[in-house]
Structure 1
Amino acid sequence: MTVSTGLAGTGLLDPSATEGKNGPGTARIVGVGTANTQHSYTQSELLDIFKITDPKVRSVFLNSAIERRFLTVPPLDDDGNVITELQGELLAKHKRIALDMGARAIRTCLENTGIEPADIDYLCCTTTTGFLTPGLSAHLIREMGILPRTSRIDVVGMGCNAGLNALNATHGWAVANPGKVAVMLCVEACSAAYVIDGTLRTAVVNSLFGDGAAAIALIADAPDTAYAPAGVPAGAGSPRILGFASHIITDAIDAMRYDWDEAQGKFSFYLDPQVPYVVGANAEQVVDRLLSGAGLRRSDISQWLIHSGGKKVIDAVRVNLGLTRHDVRHTTSVLRDYGNLSSGSFLFSYERLLHEGVTQPGDYGVLMTMGPGSTIETALVQW
């Protein structure tokens, strides 16, 4: 991204240059909304539904720091056993669940903003839990009454970090089109990406992920104006996005990946046990690069919104960045109540922060996601 003022080459603006207004190269977050599937389950309930008795697998589920997750479990046969879903059935399931959750998340995002679906000028959809051509964006435009002229893009397969990759692209479009509405949607039907085979490899994945969608709306205005959603002063509830920083740990490119399971006839997700430590060890350099570009230190950050990747991942990032448990309260509560929602997890945390009502004009926040690559994505915002 190129900015016309501030710190050249960093993708970040000098915060003092645009205090209290949208500056060149910035857009505001003017809405956020989330949605889930119909049913949620405790970890114990899931163990019973899938008749999992192996003590090691049960321990993985019950020591995950997750209390409930929203999932669409397969139907049961006459003997009460879960029916195995074929890959084609899983793809159809993904389409059905993703379109339902995605539409609801977008509508919730636009509530109280004065923006209607027909006002959307750009739609970016990201998912990793299914493949669909044409992509989710085309189907949502048709089903939601979004105008056919709407620009769109689908980001597929990037994993849990993808929400910030997509937000970067959406922010760039908004800045290039001042006054127009850009919406980014993360939608993950994790129920459509499961393999049940009783191994510890799949147990880690099966114990962790849940169904969820999250949408965010951005608008960039001319440098000397400020857009605010209905009734919300600019700077209070609609933070500006100041910039992004990325880091890919190429030595760990296979640590998180989809493999084709020949025996099961479907894709199977793999998480290396060393992922928390790899991510934690690299968190400092990308965050410090993000902040130094804006002349900030970690102590200047009031709010931290980190991907709910799992208990060990959260702890590794928290320790390496020197954060308190209070700093990651929304990250851990989202994990507790929803599990890992993949690309949209950080927006569930952002929504909880807004509902908490503790942000003040001038506060800085860091958004952080982690996923396959292995990748760490960050963004700096200011209220």
Structure 2
Amino acid sequence: MSRIAAVAPALPPYAYTQEEITAELGPVVTPDPGSPRRAVMERVHANSGVSTRHLAVPLERYRTLTSFDQTNDLFISVGLDLAEAAVRDGLKTAGLVPEDVDHILFTSVTGVSAPSLDALLVGRLGMRPDVRRVPVFGLGCVAGAAGIARVHDYLVGHPDDVAVLLSVELCSLTLQHGDDSMANLVSSGLFGDGAAAVVMLGDARAATLGATGPDVVGTLSRLYPDTEDLLGWDVGGSGFRIVLSASLADVVERNLGDDVAGLLDTHGLTLADVGTWVAHTGGPRVLEAVARTLELDRSALELSWRSLDRVGNLSSAAVLHVLADTLEAGTAPPGDVGVLFAMGPGICAELVLLRWPED
């Protein structure tokens, strides 16, 4: 097993209400004020389940961000600051220092950098030069859950090590000017900006430190066939143009329940044994589909609904923010079983089985 010692969310300082964002971005996305698409955008934003979002730069700057080189430069500079804040906070909470980190997995799908942000972070934080690094691009929203699962895989083989999962997503920088497609209208009202760091420990290191967070006791990966055109990016001269199908929720409802049941069955558990659900904030339709397929009351996903309302969908960082809220709430009793999950391009799902230690 491995243990989650700390989860540290980070948000940019520029926060706006959904109404402010809709008013400012309306002319950017739909330049013709008389276009019926403007009304569609306003309706989509109002029904997104989002009240506020944090943005990488002040809201008025988005009018002038018209090229990929502009937005990607901001991804690197703003993203690096958020990455530093998240990792410093996570290590401090875990009672560790940067020199303790043996392995770092970095994930993002909203910008590119070579050297990657994790490499730039090593010198800034004072990590050891022999730290093992794995930067990952392309997993999208699923990467928060997948990152925990892959770091767990590493720590099973390195029980004395400290590892960090780092997610940085600046979704607002992918906004497409003059694109009134339904995908861009939905995206411009749903996604926010943020980062998160998860500090994880191998078994031996966790025992030495006396860390009290939940253990990762199992994982499951699933790639659903013939769904690759439902979610992702079309990459072109203007940067990342989102591909987002309304049928994503249907894929979730058809498949997720069986996958969760299968993971639980492997460990001699059933849905009734799960006391804590940590769900990716994919949007209202996705969360409703999750509740139906798992036969859950809305209250079981309340922290996901609250996170969606407060910061929007943060892509790979979203489920990590919900995990941070779950740990902060402190409502999971000793021995409690939890399931953390997210979905992403592919369509794929990643599931993580958690158990809070008895002592």
Q: Same fold (TM over 0.5)?
A: yes
* 2:86 is aligned with 1:113: no
Instruction: Tell me if the contact between 2:22 and 2:189 (Cα under 8 Å) persists in the aligned partners.
Output: no
| Shift, 1:112, TM fit | 3.2
| Shift, 1:361, TM fit | 0.9
* 2:328 is aligned with 1:346: no
Instruction: Tell me if the contact between 1:155 and 1:166 (Cα under 8 Å) persists in the aligned partners.
Output: no
2:75 pairs with one of 65, 72, 94: 94
Describe the shift of the 1:295–1:76 C-alpha distance in structure 2 as closer, same or farther (beyond 3 A).
closer
Instruction: Give 2:225's aligned residue.
Output: 250
* 2:151 is aligned with 1:170: yes
Identical columns (%) = 33
Residue correspondence of structure 1 range 160-199 to structure 2 within 5 A: 160-199=141-180
Instruction: Give 1:212's aligned residue.
Output: 194
Instruction: Give 1:157's aligned residue.
Output: 138
Deviations 1:76-111 (A, max 9, x none): 58xxx8113201111111111211111111111122
- SS of the residue corresponding to residue 207 of structure 2 reads coil
Q: Aligned partners of 1:130 and 1:85: how far apart in 2?
A: 15
Deviations 1:250-300 (A, max 9, x none): 2111100111356xx322011011111111211112101110100100010
TM-score calculated relative to the size of structure 2:
0.92
Instruction: Give 2:239's aligned residue.
Output: 266
| Shift, 1:198, TM fit | 4.5
Q: Aligned partners of 2:337 and 2:90: how far apart in 1?
A: 22
Instruction: Give 2:11's aligned residue.
Output: 36
1:203 pairs with one of 162, 170, 185: 185
Q: Aligned partners of 2:294 and 2:60: how far apart in 1?
A: 45
Q: Aligned partners of 1:75 and 1:326: how far apart in 2?
A: 33
Instruction: Tell me if the contact between 2:172 and 2:188 (Cα under 8 Å) persists in the aligned partners.
Output: no
Q: Aligned partners of 2:173 and 2:11: how far apart in 1?
A: 14
2:123 pairs with one of 142, 167, 186: 142
| Shift, 1:245, TM fit | 0.7
- SS of the residue corresponding to residue 354 of structure 1 reads helix
- SS of the residue corresponding to residue 203 of structure 2 reads coil
| Shift, 1:73, TM fit | 4.5
Q: Aligned partners of 1:339 and 1:203: how far apart in 2?
A: 14
Describe the shift of the 1:126–1:113 C-alpha distance in structure 2 as closer, same or farther (beyond 3 A).
same
| Counterpart residue identity of residue 50, structure 1 | L
Q: Aligned partners of 2:22 and 2:119: how far apart in 1?
A: 37
* 2:54 is aligned with 1:59: no
Q: Aligned partners of 1:313 and 1:340: how far apart in 2?
A: 11
Q: Aligned partners of 1:62 and 1:92: how far apart in 2?
A: 31
Q: Aligned partners of 2:295 and 2:100: how far apart in 1?
A: 42
Instruction: Give 1:16's aligned residue.
Output: none
| Counterpart residue identity of residue 190, structure 1 | C
TM-score calculated relative to the size of structure 1:
0.86
Q: Aligned partners of 1:254 and 1:345: how far apart in 2?
A: 22
Instruction: Give 2:328's aligned residue.
Output: 355
- Judge which range, 188-197 or 115-124, deviates more: 188-197
Q: Aligned partners of 1:261 and 1:329: how far apart in 2?
A: 38
Give 5+ residue unaligned stretches, structure 2: 28-32
Instruction: Tell me if the contact between 1:34 and 1:215 (Cα under 8 Å) persists in the aligned partners.
Output: yes
Q: Aligned partners of 1:325 and 1:210: how far apart in 2?
A: 23
Deviations 1:328-351 (A, max 9, x none): 011111100010001111111111
Instruction: Tell me if the contact between 2:65 and 2:71 (Cα under 8 Å) persists in the aligned partners.
Output: no
Residue correspondence of structure 1 range 312-323 to structure 2 within 5 A: 312-323=285-296
| Counterpart residue identity of residue 312, structure 1 | R
Instruction: Tell me if the contact between 1:40 and 1:70 (Cα under 8 Å) persists in the aligned partners.
Output: yes
| Shift, 1:75, TM fit | 7.1
Instruction: Give 2:30's aligned residue.
Output: none
Instruction: Give 2:355's aligned residue.
Output: 382
| Shift, 1:135, TM fit | 1.2
Q: Aligned partners of 2:57 and 2:45: how far apart in 1?
A: 16
Q: Aligned partners of 1:85 and 1:73: how far apart in 2?
A: 14
Q: Aligned partners of 1:124 and 1:260: how far apart in 2?
A: 24
Describe the shift of the 1:369–1:75 C-alpha distance in structure 2 as closer, same or farther (beyond 3 A).
closer
Instruction: Give 1:281's aligned residue.
Output: 254
Q: Aligned partners of 2:266 and 2:310: how far apart in 1?
A: 35
Instruction: Tell me if the contact between 1:30 and 1:228 (Cα under 8 Å) persists in the aligned partners.
Output: no
Describe the shift of the 1:74–1:195 C-alpha distance in structure 2 as closer, same or farther (beyond 3 A).
farther
Give 5+ residue unaligned stretches, structure 1: 1-25
Deviations 1:337-381 (A, max 9, x none): 010001111111111111212111100000010110001110101
